[in-house]
Chain A
Amino acid sequence: AQSVTQLDSHVSVSEGTPVLLRCNYSSSYSPSLFWYVQHPNKGLQLLLKYTSAATLVKGINGFEAEFKKSETSFHLTKPSAHMSDAAEYFCVVSERNSGGYQKVTFGIGTKLQVIP
């Protein structure tokens, strides 16, 4: 069974401080993992993806995530938060189901607030 747990529904950081958004997953197979960002009144935009290559993945806008199989985690980090990072972030697990089709599960999202 496939599932995603985003451990925090809301995270608040000061501008210029590090960001950590936590994600744990469960998958029967070797999954692919993604982070998406959604700004207010916008669609979701891909931040980065892990597809069984390097475990440390770099994405857009200075974000990166590390795949840790032993911990079944894929946490999103950024060294220094910017006001424009305020948005909602979704962790996603993707695998191929028994029929050979893509099966995707989204986490519930983490709202990031950046305080000036």
Chain B
Amino acid sequence: DAGVIQSPRHEVTEMGQEVTLRCKPISGHDYLFWYRQTMMRGLELLIYFNNNVPIDDSGMPEDRFSAKMPNASFSTLKIQPSEPRDSAVYFCASSGGEGAPEDQPQHFGDGTRLSIL
């Protein structure tokens, strides 16, 4: 299996621009998670989906952030307009398979390092 695939790996853009981060989960997984990691705040859960439906978006910082999962093999996290404080590493993770959902470990992508100038 190819694992969770995130793109781009690095993104540098100017303040005010729209940023779109992409994620392809592991085939067959029914949960998808988006996280943000910074030195100051550590790892934060932004939103997660089950069977393409958003379940909890309470971690999304503000309306500038939005996430979609149009099908089981693709998700996007969009920031519009972007601000310097959005600079962070954004991780996507997926989980699923046979057995209880709480027993399934999350599989992480390598992350997108985002820098907003």
Interface residues of A (CB under 8 A from B): 31-32, 34, 36, 42-46, 49, 51, 90, 94-96, 99-104, 106, 108-109
- With contacts A46-B107, A102-B50, A103-B102 known, what are 18 further pairs, Cβ within 8 A? A43-B91, A43-B109, A43-B110, A44-B91, A44-B108, A49-B103, A51-B103, A94-B103, A95-B102, A96-B101, A96-B102, A101-B50, A101-B56, A104-B33, A104-B106, A106-B43, A108-B42, A109-B43
Residue of B4, B100, B102, B110 ringed by the most chain A CB atoms within 10 A: B102
Q: Are B91 and A102 in contact (CB under 8 A)?
A: no
Q: How far is the CB of B110 from chain A (nearest CB, A)?
A: 5
Chain B residue numbers with a CB within 8 Å of A49 are 103, 105
Is A94 in contact with B108, judged by CB distance below 8 angstroms?
Answer: no
Contact A90 B108, CB 8 Å, known A43-B91, A44-B91, A51-B103: no
Between A and B, 11 residue pairs with Cβ closer than 8 Å are A31-B102, A43-B4, A43-B108, A43-B111, A44-B93, A46-B106, A94-B102, A99-B55, A101-B101, A102-B50, A109-B42
- Which residues of B come within 8 Å of A, CB atoms? 4, 31, 33, 42-43, 45, 50, 55-56, 91, 93, 95, 100-111
Closest Cβ neighbor of B109 among chain A residues: A43
Measured between beta carbons, the chain A residues less than 8 angstroms from B56 are 101
Given A43-B109, A51-B103, A102-B95, also A90-B50 (CB < 8 A): no
A31 CB contacts on chain B under 8 angstroms: 102
Residue in B100, B105, B106, B111 with the greatest tally of chain A CB atoms within 10 Å = B105
Distance in Å from the Cβ of A48 to the closest Cβ of chain B? 9
Contacts of A109 in B (CB 8 A): 42-43
Find out whether the CB atom of A32 lies under 8 angstroms from the CB atom of B102.
yes
Nearest-CB distance from B112 to chain A (Å)? 11
Q: Which of B42, B45, B50 has the most CB of A within 10 A?
A: B42
Docked Cα-Cα span, A32 to B101, in Å, equals 10
Which residue from chain B places its CB closest to the CB of A53 in the assembled complex? Answer: B103
Considering only CB atoms, which chain B residue lies closest to A49 in the complex?
B105
A-B complex: 4 closest residue pairs judged by Cβ atoms: A43-B108, A102-B101, A51-B103, A44-B108
